[in-house]
């Protein structure tokens, strides 16, 4: 596999543009957190396990909402993301909400390679893996920063749904073979598409008809490739789940919103795997 830093930087520009649009639809987020709000879903809470008192690294943390939700649960959190706009927002949100957190603006490959820190838990979720150009290097980076006995937890949209457009037309292969898919329209305003389910602090009209001036590049990683990257890095898989719903995201037209922000298939359509989750642990050091 080849690490495509050039494409990461183009994605950085696209995320910088999109993040402002996304947050424009979310009502006073600092107040939401000050009043005890959380953006976490049951799936990640279950896979993460107890986080109180643990040093937790949130990779590709975006604008920090989930990171701060984990801090509210007692974790000592560090978030890393490539987007300048997202990290600046996360730092401001942490300060205004009064929640301690550390945020770094970096390509996660660079940060994982150079950091001397270690963590009890590493976490990533919801639309993160398609931005990775080398899945094996990602797995090795996670193993490097995890303490012995530490846990990695991932909740991600199922790669199966990336094969289809919004009208269920088959448009892309499942097996990406490490090659980028380029989208000239860039990263869209998925918060506007998904509506209130993606804005737990309250939904606002915000930016209308957002058009990203920067193209974006995605990489398709099948579940087998993700699991293999972690196992080859020395981690032990402890859980693998698939879910027939999508949390806070509406990938297809006609999807129905259920309680808790879960999006399910349109009436009359069969269930499909829309998300998956996994947990893996770094073995303890041998005694003696």
Question: How far is residue 106 CA from its own chain's centroid?
Answer: 15
pTM above 0.85, yes or no: yes
Q: CA 49 to CA 127: how far, in whole Å? A: 21
> Under DSSP, is residue 95 helix (H, G, I), strand (E, B) or coil?
helix
Would you give the DSSP letter of residue 184?
Answer: T
The count of other CB atoms within 10 Å of the CB of residue 35 is 10
Domains of the chain with CATH codes: 5-281 (3.40.50.150)
pLDDT (tens, 9 = 90+) of the chain, 288 residues, equals 688 999 999 999 999 999 999 999 998 999 999 999 999 999 999 999 999 999 999 999 999 999 999 999 999 999 999 999 999 999 999 999 999 999 999 999 999 999 999 999 999 999 999 999 999 999 999 999 999 999 999 999 999 999 999 999 999 999 988 899 999 999 998 898 888 888 888 989 899 999 999 999 999 999 999 999 999 999 999 999 999 999 989 999 999 999 998 999 999 999 999 999 999 999 988 765
């Amino acid at each position: 596999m080849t690490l495509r830093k050039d494409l990461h930087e183009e994605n950085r520009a696209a995320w910088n543009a999109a993040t402002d649009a996304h947050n424009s639809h979310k009502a006073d987020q600092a107040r939401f957190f000050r009043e005890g709000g959380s953006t976490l879903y049951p799936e990640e809470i279950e896979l993460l396990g107890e986080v109180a008192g643990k040093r937790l690294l949130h990779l590709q943390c975006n604008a920090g909402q989930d990171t701060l939700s984990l801090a509210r649960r007692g974790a000592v959190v560090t978030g890393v993301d490539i987007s300048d706009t997202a990290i600046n927002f996360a730092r401001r949100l942490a300060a205004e909400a009064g929640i301690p957190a550390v945020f770094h603006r970096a390509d996660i490959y660079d940060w994982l390679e150079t950091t001397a820190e270690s963590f009890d838990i590493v976490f990533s979720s919801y639309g993160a893996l398609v931005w990775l150009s080398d899945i094996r290097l990602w797995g090795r980076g996670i193993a490097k920063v995890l303490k012995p006995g530490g846990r990695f937890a991932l909740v991600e949209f199922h790669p199966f749904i990336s094969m289809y457009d919004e009208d269920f037309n088959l448009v892309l292969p499942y097996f990406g073979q490490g090659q980028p898919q380029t989208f000239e329209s860039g990263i869209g305003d998925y918060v506007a598409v998904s509506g209130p389910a993606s804005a737990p602090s309250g939904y606002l009209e915000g930016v209308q008809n957002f058009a990203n001036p920067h193209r974006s590049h995605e990489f398709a990683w099948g579940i087998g490739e993700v699991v293999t990257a972690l196992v080859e890095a020395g981690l032990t898989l402890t859980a693998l789940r698939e879910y027939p719903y999508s949390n806070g995201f509406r990938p297809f037209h006609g999807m129905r919103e259920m309680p808790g922000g879960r999006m399910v298939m349109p009436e009359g359509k069969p269930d499909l795997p829309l998300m998956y989750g996994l947990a893996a642990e770094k073995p303890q050091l041998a005694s003696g």
